[in-house]
Amino acid sequence: MSGSRFDDVQLANGSYPFDDEMVPLRDLAMIPVPPALESWFRERLADGRMHVPRGVPTELRFRSDDRADTAFTVWRPEEGDELYMLAPKSYRTSTG
């Protein structure tokens, strides 16, 4: 993440949630939230069902009757409208 807008994101070594598992930080990368998930997040942000403070990595947990509980670590920069999440490095694209 060096030289990017993520330089100010402070994450302790350890494991972070991605979907229904915990993944070591060394295996994760900060990526733009995928469009379908971003729409779902934005609906919840807009109607107050979810809060993600700007500039603070935030763990979001979701419960469902039809699948395992899920969790994600998301980040909103201090400025701009982007949403990012920690995801396994294999989720990065060549443009990311």
User: Phi and psi at residue 24, in whole multiples of 5°?
Assistant: -60, 140
Task: Give CA–CA dist 48/39, Å, rounded.
Answer: 14
Tokens of 61: 């947990």
Q: Where are the domains of the chain?
A: 15-89
CA 41 – CA 31 distance, rounded (Å):
15
Model pTM? Answer: 0.78
Which amino acid appears at position 36 of this protein?
A
How many Å apart are CA 57 and CA 70, to the nearest integer?
17
pLDDT in tens, 59-78: 988 887 777 788 999 999 88
**Do 60 and 52 form a contact (C-beta atoms < 8 A)?**
yes
Task: Quickly state the pLDDT bin for 25 (edges 50, 70, 90).
Answer: very high
